[in-house]
Amino acid sequence: MAKEKLEYYFPDDYPENLRLIILQRKDLLEKGYYKKENERSLVIWIILNGIKEYPGLLKGDIVQNEFLYWLSKNSSDKYFSKLPRIILGIWDLNRSIRIRFPKPNENKFFLNWIKIKFDFLTLGIPKYSVFFPRIEHFSNIDYFLFFLSNIFWKIKLIALIIWYPRRVIDGNISGIPVAGNLNGFQIQFNVIRALIYRELKTRISQVRFGVLGVFLEPIGVFIIFCTIFALIRGKRADIDIELFLACGIVLYSMFQEIAIRSINAMQANEALFFYRPVKPIDTVLARTVVESCIFGIVFVVLISLIFLFKEMWVLENFALVVIAYLGLALFSFGLGLILMIIGHKFPISRQILPLFIRPLWLISGVIFGVSRIPYNLRPFVTWNPILQAIELTRYSFTSGYNVPVDVISLSYLWTFALIISTFGLFIYLRNEKFLLTK
């Protein structure tokens, strides 16, 4: 009896252990899984059966395990060549995902969407971070837009919460404002513009050297710490130490200025509530705008100086810097609103609250990076959205900066900021009448 000799030609990139498994099993060979065109069915088989039959198959990470590496690479399918094999397999398997994203190859948001859902799929496969440890599109503008579209109704709700009462209350009592019947947005715009004008006038007259004095304080702190770190401790960070410190100090100072100034926002602007369109929330809003602009300028000045005299940095992800900065500003606004109400309700807290805010300096990653913290201690610092914003800013300068992607994320920062600001707006609305009562 002539021995039947079969030649199996695998595609080049098939890992060794996969070839062995297929060669050992007749049923797989019969299905033709060694052929390139059956790759999609092979991935489906792996997810459904392979993991159960060969428990050790997906152990380890992509550096050690060739098989994991193969799954995380782009598919050789001619229609879906942009998708990694594992994600295409999940898409093939899951009917609801197929209905939601009929053309995953063309939909920009699909990859970002699956990134979030990946770890919640009950397929028994390893976590997303195992397949994609360093994510290429860590957080780009697409991701931000996707995120916004997802929470769009929440933002609408927040907008409604802010504007609607203003229109109703103003319509009821004081009636029409001066120049005809303006809508809430026009009133809000005028008030914020006027408050920013006033805020800048007082801010500049408070310190010496006028406008320059406003910028001198954070720059002074920066120089002192540069001296301590660069001369005494020596360079130990993954990025230029001055850049490292500039991100931390500027972002933290912005938060602290907004938070601490908001506690006294009501008292400092007592005289201004004399004009009906000015509401307590406007003072916090104006302070947030003014402080975030001032520290934005400080940041640009500092990094430009570093560029000229020290390190020729390249900003790898401009969008991430802006989005993280705005996220932190939103968080500070929400917290400022809450602090203002507490400060008004319990006058004693005006002395106590700064005592709680200032120590945040030490745990907000101003002078350390998360990667320097031992793994088991990370949860104690990473809850902090200020630290998240600071680390994201550093990461956006160079992806060589070591950030543990499993604990630092843009969506955490923004979710935290939105929750805090929504909560702030909620308790503000409950207390607006109280705040305006003398």
Partner 1 sequence: MIEVKNLTKSYIFKGKRSYVFKDLSFKIERGQSVALLGKNGAGKSTLLRLIGGIDQPDRGSIVADCSVSWPVGLVGGFQGSLSARENVTFVSKIYSGTDTDKFEEKVEMVAEFAEIGTYFDKPFKTYSSGMAARVTFGLSMAFDFDVYLLDEVTGAGDAKFRQKTKKILKEKQEKSDFIMVNHTLWGLKFNCDRALILHDGKMMEFDNLNDGIKEHKRLMGIA
- DSSP strands (E only) in 160-262: none
CB 337 within 8 A of CB 425: yes
Distances in Å between the Cα of 154 and the Cα atoms of 158, 259, 366 are 6, 24, 31
Of 74-82, 180-188, 247-255, 417-425, which segment contacts partner 1 by CB under 8 A? 180-188
| Least CB distance to partner 1 at residue 429 (A) | 14
CB 364 within 8 A of CB 252: yes
CB 86 within 8 A of CB 131: yes
Q: How far apart are the first and last CA of the chain?
A: 106
DSSP state of 123: S
Encoded one letter per residue, x for contact with partner 1 by CB under 8 A and - for no contact, window 231-270 reads: ----------------------------------------
The two tokens of residue 296 are 């934005």
The two tokens of residue 389 are 């914003």
Size (the chain), residues: 438
| Least CB distance to partner 1 at residue 160 (A) | 22
CB of 280 or CB of 365, closer to partner 1: 280
Rg (CA), the chain: 28
Q: Is 178 in the site for partner 1 (CB under 8 A)?
A: yes
Burial bucket for residue 142 (CB in 10 Å: 0-12, 13-18, 19+): middle
Rounded CA separation 284/261 (Å): 8
b/e 121-134 (16+ beta carbons within 10 angstroms → b):
eeeebbebbbbbee
CB of 114 or CB of 214, closer to partner 1: 214
The binder of partner 1 chosen from 64, 74, 149, 186 (CB under 8 A)? 186
Of 2-10, 21-29, 192-200, 347-355, which segment contacts partner 1 by CB under 8 A? 192-200
Q: Is 436 in the site for partner 1 (CB under 8 A)?
A: yes
Distances in Å between the Cα of 333 and the Cα atoms of 78, 298, 408 are 49, 19, 21
Encoded one letter per residue, x for contact with partner 1 by CB under 8 A and - for no contact, window 201-230 reads: xx--x-------------------------
CB 367 within 8 A of CB 251: no
Of 230-238, 271-279, 373-381, 408-416, which segment contacts partner 1 by CB under 8 A? 271-279
Q: Is 177 in the site for partner 1 (CB under 8 A)?
A: yes
Q: Is 176 in the site for partner 1 (CB under 8 A)?
A: yes
| Least CB distance to partner 1 at residue 158 (A) | 24
| Least CB distance to partner 1 at residue 182 (A) | 6
Number of residues this chain uses to bind partner 1 (CB under 8 A): 34
The binder of partner 1 chosen from 116, 158, 272, 357 (CB under 8 A)? 272
CB of 9 or CB of 275, closer to partner 1: 275
CB of 173 or CB of 314, closer to partner 1: 173
Q: Is 63 in the site for partner 1 (CB under 8 A)?
A: no
Interacting residue ranges for partner 1, rule: CB under 8 A: 172-180, 182, 186, 189-191, 193-195, 197-198, 201-202, 205, 271-278, 433, 436-438
